[in-house]
Amino acid sequence: MNPDLTELLDAWKYEPGKINVRLIESGDGVSFIQVRLDLGILQMHLDGRPDGNRPQGFESFLDMVENWIEEAERGEVGPPPEFEIDEEELPGSAPLQPPRRSHEDDELPFRLTREQCGVLREEAIQYYHRYLALLALEDFERVIRDTTRNLRVLDTLAKYAEHNEDRESVSHTKSHVTMMRARALASLAIRDNEPKAAVHAIEEGIEALRKHFDNIGHSELFERSSEVQVLQGMKQALTPKLPVSQKAELRKRLDEAVEVENYRLAAILRDEINSMPD
């Protein structure tokens, strides 16, 4: 096979200023996402870990860590002492050592080392690239899946990381992932012609961002957050599309009746409004 990619790249020209993405299927029926970059083409699996690896049989390193947590919650020993990752599973890095056992005064059974936190962050970057591509493809269900998954990574780092730097590194990333998840939920609701559900998803996202900034001790950043501004802009665009309430519609008809001096109709509408609960 000729390894030269010139013909493939020439057939799909890079377009600056946009996400150049497409969905393809291999000869054996496996679906891939391709992103055209200025220097080549990035290819990712549609499902599972984007690079297709399955470390020690788990779908991802996050799933491996979550398995440790489940074992610890069941009262089992915790992370297996023989745990390590083959270099083939983590190209360019040395095998990871077992998770560091917590001190006796720590309520957690183990702590993630700096190296393990780095592996989880690098893996999350793969999912970040994929959910951006999925958003361009308007595959909102999978965007929700991948952003929800990356939020689990950030929560795991915040709770189990051994070093403060690793726990604090999630602050900016979490605001972006939270916004993207809310945006995907709202976009899915809009596609289903459910503007009220879309606004609800946006409001939940905004509230999650408010709590996030409160939790990290920077409540003043909430109003200036670009992620909050994006969601507020979506909400403002959606509000005119919301169905008006029955009482609001009756009040509008009452005003119109009074304006044309149809007082009989106005009296009927007024009685109907007064009979409705607040």
181-216 pLDDT, tens digit per residue, is 999 999 999 999 898 899 999 999 999 999 999 998
The reply to whether 253 falls in a domain is yes
Strand partners, 23: 33
Q: How many domains does the chain have?
A: 1
Give the tens place of pLDDT for each residue, 144-171. 999 999 999 999 999 999 899 898 888 7
The closest of 246, 161, 173 to 212, measured between CA atoms, is: 173
CA distance 169 to 104: 26
- Coil, helix or strand at residue 19: coil
83 falls in which pLDDT band (50, 70, 90)?
Answer: very low
Min mean pLDDT across 51-65, 220-234, 259-273 is at 259-273
Most confident of 119-123, 170-174, 262-266: 119-123
The reply to whether 251 falls in a domain is yes
Buried b (16+ CB within 10 A) or exposed e, 234-248: bbeebeeeeeeeeee
Residue 34 has pLDDT above 60, yes or no: yes
Give the tens place of pLDDT for each residue, 128-142. 999 999 999 999 999
The reply to whether 234 falls in a domain is no
Per-residue pLDDT, averaged over 24-49, amounts to: 93
The reply to whether 255 falls in a domain is yes
The reply to whether 130 falls in a domain is no
The reply to whether 258 falls in a domain is yes
The reply to whether 271 falls in a domain is yes
What domain range is 251 assigned to? 246-275
- pTM here is 0.77
